[in-house]
Amino acid sequence: MGKFAEVFLGILTAMGGFVEIGELTFTLNAGRRFEYALLWIVLLGTVGIMVYCEMAGRIAAVKHQAVFSLIRERDGFSAGLLTLVAASLVNVLTCAAEVGGVALLWQLLSGWPYRALLLAALVFFVVVVWSTPFEWIERIFGLGGLLMIVFMVLAVRLEPDWASVAAGFAPSLPRPAGGRDTLMYTFYGVALLSSIMLPYETYFYAAGGIEDRWKPSDVTLNRVVVIVGFSLGALLSVSLVLIGAEFFKPRSLDPALPGTAALAAADSFGNIGLYVALLGMFFAFAGAAIETALSAAYNLAQFAGWPWGLDKRPRDASRFALAWIAVFVLATVVVMTGIDPISVVEYSIVFSVVVLPLSYFPVLAVARDRGIMGPYANGPLANALGWFYLVLITVAALAALPLFVATHAGQG
């Protein structure tokens, strides 16, 4: 195992970002509405999240500094606090959606009441994170999330027109261009980009590198972990777009619940397909719940200067431990109100695009600084890509809210 097992940090991070409950249904819907026309956004977003996670991971390996320490240091106290508040909101809302998603999956399998299962999910998460070392959380939920590969197999089995799929990777507008369709397409494009580049992935990934005690010699490992993890996440996203286009569109089905996604697997592979898909979704949602809850606690602890990390006993990082427990409790309370987990995620995606520039600027500022990073500072490629994506997400952040309002959150 050893170094090889580090790849699960990348897989867990990517799964929690690419196929959590919100993005799962959102990506299926993007395929159902626009077929392959948004595939290029998946590619664009994936390269973007790779660039920033690689930088954040490199800073973690070389300087053992986590993202929120950088945010406070470089954005200043007030802008940093604003980022912390917005990021915490995104984390709690996303965590709420995932806790809800896990309870929905358990309900499908058991038929027990939803609210009782929400409480069971809360106990499950607190016990798992309390008692499991970080490296085993990575391995269990990263490995379990690999069951989602069933959706990749399914996408191939649906025999899409590969020439049209390839054409989808070139930037385009829907035809006929202009009017309502273009507005919807732009909203979906911005939201998809934002949901792939979710900031909590970077917070979690860098903190995970520090939890795993990366050293400067691990910068190549960091690169491999990022490329493998996020390529896998991207392939899953592409598969979901294809399934949306090939399975849900012709049947006029609206994949509004996670269970509907499993139906597509059941249709092709029978009961085994159904159970593998449900189990894969369970690990992906649970991984995302843990990722967002821990990310919220990491952020708070890093911003306030508390001891943090799952490698410490809870008594040695007491406020950090109380913080992640509080996030799970708050998240459960949010979904207990009966609010639909998927709509919760839609709001959190819009919030997260707004904090993207504030989160990513400090990472770029430090990663490119030779005075701090020495020989491990960005090369010209990382700098060029970093600046390109910083401009792109700033434009996306400015466009997100008006688009959200104008399209009624993508409802048309």
Q: Which residues sit at the interface with other proteins, rule CB under 8 A?
A: 63-65, 69, 72-73, 76-78, 80-81, 130-131, 301, 303-308, 313-319, 321-322, 372
Residue 76 CB, nearest approach to other proteins (Å): 7
Residue number with CB closer to other proteins (152 or 372): 372
C-alpha–C-alpha distance, residues 394 and 326, integer Å: 31
Residue number with CB closer to other proteins (33 or 72): 72
Residue 308 CB, nearest approach to other proteins (Å): 7
- Coil, strand or helix at 170: coil
Q: Sort 339 into a burial class: Cβ within 10 Å, 0-12 / 13-18 / 19+.
A: middle
Residue number with CB closer to other proteins (261 or 317): 317
Residue number with CB closer to other proteins (81 or 219): 81
Residue 82 CB, nearest approach to other proteins (Å): 10
| Farthest-apart Cα atoms in the chain, separation | 61
C-alpha–C-alpha distance, residues 176 and 181, integer Å: 8
- Phi, psi torsion values for 117, nearest 5 degrees: -70, -30
176 and 271 Cβ atoms separated by less than 8 Å = no
Through-space distance between the first and last CA atoms of the chain, rounded to whole angstroms: 49
30 and 45 Cβ atoms separated by less than 8 Å = no
What tokens appear for 42 in the block? Answer: 């998946």
C-alpha–C-alpha distance, residues 219 and 327, integer Å: 32
Residue 94 CB, nearest approach to other proteins (Å): 24
Residue number with CB closer to other proteins (185 or 308): 308
Residue 66 CB, nearest approach to other proteins (Å): 10
43 and 194 Cβ atoms separated by less than 8 Å = no
CA pseudo-torsion sign 127, 133, 137, 139? negative
Residues 6+ apart with CB under 8 A from 371: none
Residue 20 CB, nearest approach to other proteins (Å): 28
Residue number with CB closer to other proteins (43 or 79): 79
Residue 210 CB, nearest approach to other proteins (Å): 12
Residue number with CB closer to other proteins (130 or 387): 130
Residue 386 CB, nearest approach to other proteins (Å): 20
Three-point CA angle 351, 405, 22, nearest 5° = 45
Residue number with CB closer to other proteins (322 or 384): 322
Residue 87 CB, nearest approach to other proteins (Å): 17
102 and 21 Cβ atoms separated by less than 8 Å = no
What tokens appear for 334 in the block? Answer: 């949010």
Residue number with CB closer to other proteins (20 or 75): 75
C-alpha–C-alpha distance, residues 145 and 8, integer Å: 10
- Coil, strand or helix at 310: coil
